[in-house]
Amino acid sequence: MAEPRPTFGHPPAAAASAAAPAAPLDLPAPAASSSPSAAAPPARQADLWRARRFGSLRVIGQLHATYIVCESPEGLILIDQHAAHERIFFEALKARRAGQSSQPSQRLLVPETVELGFREAQLLEGLLPRLAALGLEIEPFGGNTFAVKSVPAMLAEGEIRPLITALVEKMAETGLAPDVPAALDDCLIVIACHGAIRAHQTLSPAQIQSLLDQLDACDNPSHCPHGRPTWIQWSVRFLEKSFKRLA
């Protein structure tokens, strides 16, 4: 049988019976923003997504604790939970940076120290004011060591040291000055990636529903900040042809 060819970029239609409202996932709901998102899809996406439909899909379950399986009138939809959560987190951070929302931060009971090389320490020091505006409060702690004092609430359960290292590595890789908008977007992408739920992470029905509802609020729900699709769809017609129900 030929490999299924999923469709990309067209919104799923609302399912006949929507799931009941669920308790929120530990995520801030992103505020609406008119600013362009990273890796934006074609302009026609703006028209396609005026009606929000993820929250109305019938959730079937999880596949390999990585993909959310949903049913729509058009067919079968798979949602990459990590990519979708990345998009939600990224847009929430962008809204905070633009002053359109005030997402909570969590102060660490014991500041976490991170030691860097000389060049990396210089790069991080140039980023400190902008990271503080995102809720990531870091202060010099002598030499090339820094103390992380608070983090965005969505990062409170994550590992801090790998995040700081990844931020510095991204700045060194791009070679951009810390105040260049593209460099700041790169930082947001790194933070969103580290804060997002992972593949192979089991979610409760309430968490899945909350994720779908918050994806509906995104400016660009179809792509993660890296440009990967957050969902794909197989039509009923394709499935019926694959099972030879149709000629």
Query: 214 falls in which pLDDT band (50, 70, 90)?
Result: very high
In sign, the C-alpha dihedral spanning 26, 204, 7, 237 is negative
pLDDT of residue 178: 62
Tell me what percent of the residues of the chain surpass a pLDDT of 70: 75
Give per-residue pLDDT as tens, 28-70. 333 333 333 444 443 333 333 445 589 999 999 999 999 999 9
pLDDT of residue 247: 73
pLDDT of residue 19: 34
The strand pairing partners of 233, in sequence order, are: 7, 77
Q: Is residue 201 predicted with pLDDT exceeding 50?
A: yes
pLDDT of residue 114: 93
pLDDT of residue 7: 55
Spatial contact of 218 and 55, defined as CB atoms under 8 Å apart? no
Of residues 205 and 104, which shows the higher confidence score? 205
Average pLDDT in the chain: 79
pLDDT of residue 204: 97
pLDDT of residue 28: 37
Write the DSSP string, the chain: -PPP--B-SSPPPPPSSPPPP-PPPSSPPPPP--SPPTT---TTHHHHTSS--GGGSEEEEEETTTEEEEEETTEEEEEEHHHHHHHHHHHHHHHHHTTS----EEEEEEEEEEE--HHHHHHHHHHHHHHHHTT-EEEE-STTEEEEEEEEGGGTTS-HHHHHHHHHHHHHHH---TTSHHHHHHHHHHHHHHHSPPTT----HHHHHHHHHHHHT-S-TTB-TTS-BSEEEEEHHHHHHHTTS--
Alpha-carbon distance values, 148 to 116, 124, 137, 143, 165 (Å) = 13, 12, 6, 15, 12
pLDDT of residue 108: 87
Side-by-side strand order, sheet with 145-152: 105-115, 145-152, 137-140
Question: Cα separation of 84 and 82, whole Å?
Answer: 5
pLDDT of residue 227: 94
Question: Cα separation of 227 and 11, whole Å?
Answer: 17
Residue 227 exposure: Cα atoms within 13 Å on the Cβ side? 3
Q: Is residue 205 predicted with pLDDT exceeding 50?
A: yes
pLDDT of residue 211: 97
Of residues 22 and 226, which shows the higher confidence score? 226
Give per-residue pLDDT as tens, 138-191. 999 999 999 999 988 878 777 888 999 998 888 888 776 666 677 788 889 999
Q: What is the mean pLDDT of residues 6-33?
A: 42
